[in-house]
Every structure is written in C-alpha cells, then in structure tokens.
Amino acid sequence: KKDEKDIDEYLTAESLMKDLKLYNEIYNKYKGVKTQEFEIELSKMKYLLILPYAFEPKSDTPRYRTDYENLTIEEVNHLYENRNKHQIVIFEEKTKNNAIIIEKLLKMESKVEKPFKMNNERIILFDDELNGIFLIYIYISLICIFLNASIFSESYQTGEDEHFRTSMYGKKYLGKIKILVGILKGMFLFITNIFVYLVIVLNGYGISILNKPIQIALSPILPYPLNVREILIIILLAGICNLFYLLSFVFFISSTSKSVLFSLTAPVFCLMLNFLTSNWLKVKNNLLEVVLKLIPNVGNALYKDLFMDYKFFTIGEKVIWSPYFIIISSIILGVIFLFLSGKSYKKHQ
C-alpha cells in the first residue's frame, strides 16, 4: 500500500469543501474581522486562491470575490463550470469580444487536465518568480546595448576602422568578428544570469515545481494546458530570440552611424517605446499592434500577453499566439538586420 503522501490528490468539490469549512471556522473565530492574524491563519488553507472562481459570476456582484463565507455548497460542486464562466467573461473583456480568439482560448482550455492534480500540495503563486525573469531581460538588454552600441560607430569616428581594414584579414573578417563577439557576449550574459537566477529560485521551491500545472503554480484561471517547465521553455526561448533580434538591430544602427550617441539612444528609445505601448498605451488597431510588437523589446510585453491579456494576433485568417509570434518574428527580423549590418559595413570600405 502506498504512503498517503504519495497518493495523487485531485482538486475536487470534496477537497474544496474541507478548505471552505476551515475558512468558516477561522472566519467565525475572528467574528468576520479580517485582521493580520486572520490573514495569517488563512495560510493554512491549501486551495484559497481558487475559491474566487468557485462563485458563479453575476453582473450585480464583483467579478473577483473574497467573501467566501457566502460561498454555497452548490457553487463549490460546480467549481470547474463556474471557473469556465469566469474565463469567458475575462476572455470577452480582454479580446474585445473577438470570437476567433475566444474560440482559440477555449480550445486550449479544453486540453487542461481537470480536476487539477494537486499531489497533496497547496496552490502557490510562482508568478513573481517568472516576473523576475523579465526584469533580468530588461537589464541584460540595456547592458547589451551599452556594450555594442559603439561597435562600429566608434571605429568610424576615430578612424580606427580604416587602419584595421588595411591589414591582411581585417577587410574581410573584421565586421563578422565584431558581430560574432557581440552576439556571444550577449548570449553568455543572458544564459549565465538566467541560470543563476533559476538555481536560486528552484532551490527554494524544489525541482518538483517544474512539473506542476500552471493552474496551481501561477493562476487557476489560465487556459494554457502547460506545466511550469513548459511555460519556462517558451519564455526563455522567446527571450533568447528577442535578444538576438535586439543585438542585430544595435549592430545595424551602429554600422550606419558615426555618432556613438545616436547608436546608443536609438535602441534605448525603441525599448522605451515598446515598454510604453505594452503597459500604458491602449492600441485598438490590430495592424498597428502587430507593427508595434515588431519593435525591438526586452520581453516585458510577453509577461502581460501571457498572463494578463491572453494575447493572440490575427493576420488574415491566421491566429498566432503571442509567444510564437515573438519567437518567429524575432528570428526573421534578427537575420534581416544582421544581413543589413553587413551590407552597411561594406559601404564604408
């Protein structure tokens, strides 16, 4: 007979009722006054984070409710149906009632394993740790810009470039070597920083976090049929491709200008523009949104696209999930700007 801890536990109405009973005991103990001690005792609950989605969404009540003392047994018994109703309300709001995208999201949701497999563990929040990866993207991108902005323009400005071109191999290989070294430095910085960060994070959470469905590790409302490992791979792949594109863009700007200041400020301006449009400016035109997404960025938009806006792009009849769009477009545009960098550099010969 297996040990009880080894037996898979699924999030069912019965297991949720145990949590609700515990909540009511805590609620009655403090007579409904939600003090700091009250909040501390709530940490004993394993499934607290999914309770808001057990409520049946109604137009005359807040969408995200925490008055769990009013949660009924009938609503708990229909946890997954009510969760799905919440999803539809959110999808309609985020996609502006785009039927094609909503259908795509619901198709992904249909592949999510239900009831959720808990393995006798509580629902946790791992999203702050994922957000940390995007913060690493930001500073690595800025470091790469500062390291490579002057890679060609400074040599043009000082005349050093003309001197190296007179050497036996300088004319043929100088540009290629500079670009290769710049890419290798950027990738080394990215990989080492991400590796160290993930080692620290996983040391705290344990390797087992990688096998958890994102519905119990990030947010119960997410519609993607993925675990933490799979979403991490997608995020890291998008980050590497995006960094490659950013570096290629920096090389191109540097190869076309003798001004180090312009070579430095142009990529930074693009990053700021992308950050502003992703976080504060509402873009209603789909084509404009696609164009803005093609501007070099630091991956900050991907977090919002994945976990807040459930972003898809419609190009004609094609519907493309935001991470795939970023990966594909970054590779294509990165190669194009590398080619243009080489062309521009040769014009100075």
Pick 169 or 226 by higher pLDDT.
Answer: 226
Q: Are 15 and 9 in contact (CB under 8 A)?
A: yes
In terms of average pLDDT, the best of 7-16, 63-72, 242-251, 289-298 is 242-251
Q: Quick one: pLDDT at residue 36?
A: 83
CA distance 132 to 124: 16
For the chain, give the mean pLDDT.
82
Residue 284 banded pLDDT, cuts 50, 70, 90: low
Percent of the chain exceeding pLDDT 70 equals 85
pLDDT digits (tens, 9 = 90+) for 214-273: 888 888 899 999 999 999 999 999 989 999 999 999 999 988 888 888 888 888 888 877
pLDDT digits (tens, 9 = 90+) for 325-343: 889 999 999 999 999 988 8
Extract the tokens encoding 226: 């993925």
| Average pLDDT over every residue of 307-323 | 84
CB atoms within 10 A of CB 70: 9
Q: Quick one: pLDDT at residue 1?
A: 34
| Average pLDDT over every residue of 123-131 | 73
pLDDT digits (tens, 9 = 90+) for 70-90: 888 888 899 999 999 999 999
CA 311 to chain centre: 11
pLDDT digits (tens, 9 = 90+) for 211-230: 888 888 888 899 999 999 99
pLDDT at 167 over 90: no
Residue 106 banded pLDDT, cuts 50, 70, 90: very high
Helix, strand, coil tally for the chain in percent (to 5): 70, 5, 30
Q: Quick one: pLDDT at residue 2?
A: 37
Percent of the chain exceeding pLDDT 90 equals 24
In the chain the beta strands, taken as DSSP E runs, fall at 312-315, 318-321
Phi, psi of 132 (to 5 degrees): -60, -35
pLDDT at 169 over 60: no
Residue 163 banded pLDDT, cuts 50, 70, 90: low
Residue 304 banded pLDDT, cuts 50, 70, 90: confident
| Average pLDDT over every residue of 120-131 | 70
Q: Are 78 and 56 in contact (CB under 8 A)?
A: yes
